[in-house]
Amino acid sequence: MIVAGDWAITPGVKTLEHGAVFMNGSHIQDVGTKDALVARYPKAIVRDHPGCIIMPGLVNAHTHLALTALQGIVPPEGELSPWIDRITRAILALDRNDFAASAAAGAAQCLLGGVTVVGDIVYGPESPATASDLGLGGTFFWEVLGITPAELPEALAMIEFPSIPGDRCPSRTRCGLSPHAPYSSGPDLLRAVKQVADGFDVPFAIHAAESLAELQLLTTGDGPFAEKARRLAHGFHPPRSGAIHYLDHLGVLDGAIVVHCVHLMPGEAHLLAEKARGVVLCPRSNAFLGNGRPPIRTLLDAKARMALGTDSAASNADLDLFAEARALRELEPQLTVTQLIRMMTETGAEVLGLGNRFGRLAPGYNADVIAVRIGETGNPLQAVIDLGSPARVRTVVTDGVARVLGGVPTFPTITIQKAIAQVTAKATRAIAN
């Protein structure tokens, strides 16, 4: 199949006029102009997209698909701690079938918005399995918190973390581990999870430097998170430092994917650039929860590798990565469209440990291709950032299979919508009680 448009984005975020992609099975075989590819592969089916730019499937580097059903049920309360308490009450009311239904709805939202790869926090095998069924890929991080290292093996078995990750992660996915955050996982647990991740050679992710409450806990030992830390972060003692220095002192920053990084102390941006696999910014979620704005210029100056995520639908308006990019640009107008698109594609895949498979329109890469309507323009990169939205995504292909055509999903949505409505109602009742 050949997917063609007025423009295509090639590796390095270069533009190719009248660009097209030839997909052979689940992988990209060739990239060039439409005329050249049609001449080389005369028997191929051609899907032409006038007024569209062809680009790699987007990478939403931080999500919680299993929480999609909680969208809008807990409004922001000005402080992160009470919001977490209420959203946790809703999460604890859900069972595995609920998580599967919620993840399906999240995966559908992602695909309709042009996202084909995610960095997703999961509570069991439901999310990667459901996402894979719909054609969504990515790195899925099994989350643990509130336990001791001695309890870790049993906890991982209970949530069905694959004992041999490559055996039970679907083909488009990679398994990973996440010990949530410094205030919910003690120092010994952070080290233990990192050791397991390194032993399995899987990615390690952690929420860190997200809120002032977290920073207060780490620097003084008190504040809104003090009680949570006493209850969940076994063995925690305030390090009198920022979160990134703390993680580095524990030996868990090397190769880590660090999410949020809003409240950095002096020198921590350079530590992230030197040691972490990457930083995932979620500006709209930060704003929703009143956590502030990430120090984008400081991270850029330090040359930290940055990706972009929406966080969960429970702490955002939606899972629209284009809107997230515009929010980031509003915070730091000096960000170029090339930098933003790279964060949404190539760099996002690299941060998730998937840079050799996703995020580029290049031979040998997975056939994840989208077409976004931008109209007539002399600056297609600017146009796709300014105008991009789920409503403008016309075609989505993953592994060579069309998941969205003409803006309409090829997968059934009625069943997903009915299931998620039931989960949302269940979670709402749990919060009210």
Quick one: 30 and 154 in the same domain?
Answer: no
The angle subtended at Cα 144 by Cα 142 and Cα 145, nearest 5°, is 155
Same domain assignment for residues 257 and 372:
no
pLDDT for the residue 76: 81
pLDDT of residue 333: 95
- In this structure, the answer to whether residues 152 and 293 fall within a common structural domain is yes
pLDDT tens-digit readout, 258-277: 999 999 999 999 999 999 99
Query: Residue 149: its pLDDT value, please?
Result: 98
CA distance 67 to 90: 9
Q: What does the pLDDT read at residue 167? A: 56
Question: Residue 319 has what pLDDT?
Answer: 98
Q: Where does 243-344 show beta strands of DSSP type E?
A: 256-260, 278-281, 306-308
Residue 137 has pLDDT above 80, yes or no: yes
432 or 243, which is more confident: 243
Confirm whether 419 is domain-assigned: no
User: What pLDDT score was predicted for residue 340?
Assistant: 98
Please say if the pLDDT value at position 39 is more than 60: yes
**CB under 8 Å to 99, separation ≥6 — which residues?**
66, 123, 124, 126, 127
Domain presence at residue 431: no
pLDDT digits (tens, 9 = 90+) for 165-179: 655 566 789 999 999
- Sequence-distant (6+) residues with CB within 8 A of 289 are 76, 80, 83, 211, 315
Judgement on whether residues 102 and 50 belong to the same structural domain of the protein: no
Instruction: State the chain's mean pLDDT as an integer.
Output: 95
| Alpha-carbon distances of 13 from 104, 226, 229, 304, rounded to whole Å | 31, 45, 43, 19
Which pLDDT score, from 0 to 100, does residue 168 have?
55
- State whether 49 and 66 are in the same domain: no
Do residues 169 and 231 share a domain?
yes
**With 80 as the cut, is the pLDDT of residue 79 above it?**
no
Instruction: Kindly give, in sequence order, each residue whose CB lies less than 8 Å from that of residue 30, ignoring residues fewer than 6 positions away.
Output: 21, 22, 37, 40, 41, 363
Share of the chain above pLDDT 70, in %: 98
Residue 75 confidence (pLDDT): 86
- DSSP calls for 338-385: HHHHHHHTHHHHHHTT-TTTSSS-STTSB--EEEEE--S-S-HHHHHH
In a domain, 126, yes or no: yes
Query: Would you say residue 261 lies in a domain?
Result: yes
The Cα 217–Cα 227 span in angstroms is 10
Comparing 50-54, 57-61, 214-218, 417-421, which segment has the lowest mean pLDDT? 417-421
Asked if residue 198 belongs to a domain, the reply is yes
CB 88 within 8 A of CB 123: no
Strand partners, 176: 141
Domain for residue 77, yes or no?
A: yes
User: In the structure encoding, which two tokens stand for residue 125, read together?
Assistant: 């095998």
Domain coverage including residue 22: 2-56+367-399
| 294, 311 contact by CB (below 8 A) | no
280 and 304 co-located in one domain: yes
CA 346 remoteness from chain centre: 13
Same domain, 218 and 155: yes
CATH number at residue 328: 3.20.20.140
* Count of structural domains within the chain: 2
Question: Do 170 and 269 sit in the same domain of this protein?
Answer: yes
State whether 238 and 251 are in the same domain.
yes
Q: What is the pLDDT of residues 358-413, one digit of tens each?
A: 999 999 999 999 999 999 999 999 999 999 999 999 999 999 999 999 999 999 88
Give me the pLDDT at residue 78, please.
67
pLDDT score for 332? 97
Q: So what's the pLDDT on residue 257? A: 98
CATH number at residue 29: 2.30.40.10
In this structure, is residue 430 part of a structural domain? no
Handedness of CA 81, 83, 86, 92 (dihedral sign): negative
- Do both 39 and 132 map to the same domain? no
**410 in a structural domain:** no
How far is residue 22's CA from residue 24's CA, in Å, rounded to a whole number? 7
Q: Residue 86 burial (CB < 10 Å; 0-12/13-18/19+)? A: middle
Calculate the alpha carbon distances from 365 to 27, 133, 172, 321 in Å: 6, 20, 12, 22
At 23, list the tokens: 């997909």
Residue 134 sits in the same domain as residue 153: yes
